[in-house]
Amino acid sequence: MAKQAHDAEFTEYVASRGGWLRKVAYLLCGDWHRADDLAQETITKLYVHWSKAKRMENVDGYARRVLINTFLSEQRSPWWRRTTRTDTEPDIAAASVDLDVSIDLRRALAALPPRQRATVVLRYYCDLSIDQAAEALGCSSGNVKSQSSRALVALRSTLASRPAVAERTS
């Protein structure tokens, strides 16, 4: 009976937070198919360690840390270096009000190095403080500040060099 309760708690958590994990994974990797793989790997790791995870004060924080570590680990693996990315448009999950700006931002985010991208996603999408992001990334607060600063400079530079939306439609 304990196994059934364990599985029921886990299933309830994944049903309520699985979509959020997938969105964070997408922001990290910029590809919905890879995001699905990252989210699935994260969910599998959570299941294996569910008895520990459910005792945590912040289960979402634990899941986010597993996701970030999985993403960063994948970036370091030889498999990632052997794959080739194409310049095709990313899959769109839902209609966006300003699709051109959204695509530009996604491309700029995808161009960032993995640690900078993870820092931006944690700080500005997940709305974590510097200390919370540092804990999730397993680094110092100063490292989060410098990674954020570099990432924002790169994003501003990339987005400033793109033609304005009004110019594209003319």
Output the DSSP codes for 56-78.
Answer: SS-HHHHHHHHHHHHHHHHHHSH
Tens of pLDDT, residue by residue over 107-162, are 888 889 999 999 999 998 888 999 999 998 999 999 999 999 999 999 888 888 76
As given in the structure block, the two tokens for residue 161 are 């060099």
Q: Could you tell me if 144 and 60 lie in one domain?
A: no
Please determine, for residue 1, whether its predicted confidence score (pLDDT) is greater than 70: no
As given in the structure block, the two tokens for residue 61 are 């924080």
Q: Could you tell me if 27 and 100 lie in one domain?
A: no
Task: Tell me which residue has tokens 């530079």.
Answer: 157
Q: Could you tell me if 117 and 152 lie in one domain?
A: yes
Average pLDDT, stretch 84-93?
54
Q: How long, in residues, is the chain?
A: 170
Please determine, for residue 61, whether its predicted confidence score (pLDDT) is greater than 60: yes
Q: Could you tell me if 20 and 71 lie in one domain?
A: yes
Of 90, 119, 135, the residue at which a domain comes to its end is 90
The CATH number of the domain holding residue 100 is 1.10.10.10
Of 63, 149, 159, nearest to 104 by C-alpha is 159
Q: Could you tell me if 4 and 69 lie in one domain?
A: yes
Of 50, 75, 90, the residue at which a domain comes to its end is 90
Number of domains comprising the chain: 2
Backbone angles phi, psi at 152, to 5 degrees: -65, -40
As given in the structure block, the two tokens for residue 136 are 């999730």
Task: Tell me which residue has tokens 């912040």.
Answer: 58
Of 42, 36, 86, 93, nearest to 66 by C-alpha is 42
Q: Which domain holds residue 159?
A: 95-170
pTM value is 0.66
- pLDDT at position 165 is 47
Q: Could you tell me if 138 and 115 lie in one domain?
A: yes
Of 90, 116, 138, the residue at which a domain comes to its end is 90
Q: Could you tell me if 4 and 76 lie in one domain?
A: yes
Report the distance separating Cα 162 and Cα 168, nearest Å.
Answer: 10
